Amino acid sequence: MSSSETVVRAPSELGAMRRALEIARRGPANGPNPRVGCVLLGPDGEVLGEGWHRGAGTPHAEVAALTDAADRGASTRGATAVVTLEPCNHTGRTGPCSEALLAAGIARVVVSVQDPNRVAAGGAARLRAAGVDVETGLLADEGRALLGAWLPSVERGRPFVTLKIATSLDGRVAAADGSSRWITSEVSRHHAHDLRAEVDAIVVGTGTALIDDPSLTARNAAGELHGQQPLRVVVGHRDLPPDARLHGPGGELVHVRTHDPAQVLAQLAEREVRHVLVEGGPTLAAAFLAAGLVDEVHAYVAPVLLGSGRPAMADLGVTTIGDAVRLITRSVIPLGPDVLIVATVDTQSTTEEN
């Protein structure tokens, strides 16, 4: 039980947590490390310092906030640290924040989300053992939303998988002659590019790589490459021709010679990939779904009818409606003439039923 039950929380702590959540978003959405924000409050609720995490290898939010307070000449003895993620208790790329907070004389710590990362967790217990008052769970829903794909990825021990499909209204990704440029509108394609800039890796099958010759880069509306490029992953046994666009400028190219989605994710997990975007084709999409390894689907649907041509999804082994893969719609976003449906797959229940 937390000793915080005896403490009445100052109203400024709620405001400080909102601020910590806000500044955390200045950190990168992708990469191996979480977005974290921290605000240090003095005895009268005044802000002594604030900090956020700027990406793997840089100081954690707590240390950044302590540095900010020191730069401002503020004493942190007896202060409260309001932080979006439980302070870490390990030495990884940087030292343990639990010890940094203790050394700075912090008397109370208010946390939004407990750290699911077993290697780093334990900061709350360490701080309590040293006599610090620790409260967890403040604005926990917002704290989890801030962490995005990082949280489920760490909890599941594998990258979070978003499957992207862009189809006609009748679910096709190419016409009968194979032509597919362009089914969805320019607005949809720009939207999809912005998502590429937020993930750590884009995965396609060799079939798609050979047929479409994609570059798999994240580009802005002007066609220029974003500063942050995802890893480009091609899955399957066939070789790519030496003049494939994938050999051009962009993120690092990785060829995984397997048909097993679990093996692909295991390899990417080793590289600390947290968020994967599966962009097709139909065979790879079906393989990830059938393996229960899709967490979220982004379906761009254009008001176009083809009647024949390539379906978005290869055989899923579904022969009767009761076996259909059912998703939960999270949002429907109009994009010019198209709509984007964002839906999640309840992987937990899929595995239980199997």
- Cα distance between residue 45 and residue 113, in whole Å: 22
Query: Among residues 18 and 255, whose Cβ is nearest to ligand AOF?
Result: 18
Shortest CB 66 distance to ligand AOF, Å = 12
CB atoms near residue 95 (< 10 Å): 14
Q: Does 53 bind Zn ion (CB under 5 A)?
A: no
Query: Among residues 51 and 205, whose Cβ is nearest to ligand AOF?
Result: 51
Contact of 122 with 89, CB cutoff 8 Å: yes
Shortest CB 311 distance to Zn ion, Å = 47
Query: Among residues 55 and 241, whose Cβ is nearest to ligand AOF?
Result: 55
Chain contacts with ligand AOF (rule: CB under 6 A): 33-34, 36, 53, 56, 60-61, 85, 88, 92-94, 97, 115, 117, 120
Contact of 232 with 277, CB cutoff 8 Å: no
Instruction: Tell me whether residue 62 is one of the annotated catalytic residues.
Output: yes
Residue 53: contacted member of ligand AOF, Zn ion, none (CB under 5 to 8 Å, by partner type): ligand AOF
Shortest CB 60 distance to Zn ion, Å = 3
CB atoms near residue 119 (< 10 Å): 11
Q: Which two tokens stand for residue 209?
A: 């790589």
Chain residues 62-101 in contact with Zn ion, contact rule CB under 5 A: 88, 97
Query: Among residues 76 and 117, whose Cβ is nearest to ligand AOF?
Result: 117
What letter represents residue 83's amino acid?
A: V
Biggest distance spanned by C-alpha atoms of the chain: 72
Q: Does 60 bind Zn ion (CB under 5 A)?
A: yes
Contact partners, residue 311, CB within 8 Å, separation at least 6: 171, 172, 173, 282
5, 46, 50, 62: which is the annotated catalytic residue?
A: 62
Contact partners, residue 209, CB within 8 Å, separation at least 6: 234, 236, 240, 244, 246
Q: Interface with Zn ion by CB under 5 A: which residues?
A: 60, 88, 97
Catalytic residues: 62
